[in-house]
Amino acid sequence: MTKTLYCIRHGIALHNVLFKNIGEMAYIKHRDTKLVEQGIEQAKNLGKKWQEKDNIDLVVVSPLTRTLETATHIFNNSDTPIIAIDSLKEYPQATQECNHRRTVMELKTEFTNINFNEILQNKDQEWRDLIYNDDFEIKKLKHRISSFKTWIKNRPENKIAVVGHSSYLNMMLNGFVDDETNELKHCHPYKYYI
């Protein structure tokens, strides 16, 4: 059976704002960045205006703070289950501290509305300080996307919101890793069928 995914990039986060002033240093300066006020408002607005929201069976979210905040604001006052999945973390999983998740223990304390049972390791096991090479990193990203699709296919739900990141989602939706010139819109649902 075909499943409909609504792929949503997180709201504007601290590193997105800092990039305009300090360039790529924004990605390595702050770990697991949070949404800024504008990003919070984007998520809340989507939650109020998105007509498909009430038809969503499941929300799957990256366990990085900006995506957890986004999912929480979009689905505020909803009983739709939200599950965090490590394979949804942003690309790359090296050098860019904004993509380095905090421990599950910390996240569970802050996001009590989200189910973290699918994440088996408290610390971020994918994270590395150095990138091996671009080919290796892309191969790892494609493997994570493949694992995620398999996980989704084995779920009973048919309409699933996926709250994630631009580079990850662009690779899944369009077959390439983006940069600042061709990123996905913040808090906009892109339909994808698997």
Write down the domain spans for the chain: 4-193
Rg, the chain, Cα only: 15
Residue 178: name the closest of 101, 60, 99, 91 by CA: 91
What are the structure tokens assigned to 70, written together?
């986004």
**Segment 126-156, tens digit of pLDDT:** 888 876 678 888 999 999 999 999 999 999 9
**Segment 108-123, tens digit of pLDDT:** 999 999 999 999 999 9
The predicted structure's pLDDT at residue 17: 95
Report d(CA 177, CA 115) in Å as an integer. Answer: 28
Residue 55: name the closest of 114, 6, 111 by CA: 6
The predicted structure's pLDDT at residue 86: 96
DSSP 97: G
Report d(CA 137, CA 192) in Å as an integer. Answer: 24
The predicted structure's pLDDT at residue 82: 98
- Tokens 């993509």 locate to 99
Q: Kindly report the CATH class assigned to 4-193.
A: alpha beta
Report d(CA 19, CA 6) in Å as an integer. Answer: 27
User: What's CA 41's distance to the chain center, in Å?
Assistant: 17
Q: What is the pLDDT along the chain (194 residues), one digit of tens a residue?
A: 899 999 999 999 999 999 999 999 999 999 999 999 999 999 999 999 999 999 999 999 999 999 999 999 999 989 999 999 999 999 998 889 999 999 999 999 999 999 999 999 999 998 888 766 788 889 999 999 999 999 999 999 999 999 999 999 999 999 999 887 889 999 999 999 99
The predicted structure's pLDDT at residue 163: 99
Coil vs helix vs strand at 115: strand
State the pTM of this model: 0.96
Q: Is the CB of residue 62 less than 8 Å from the CB of residue 91?
A: no
DSSP 184: P
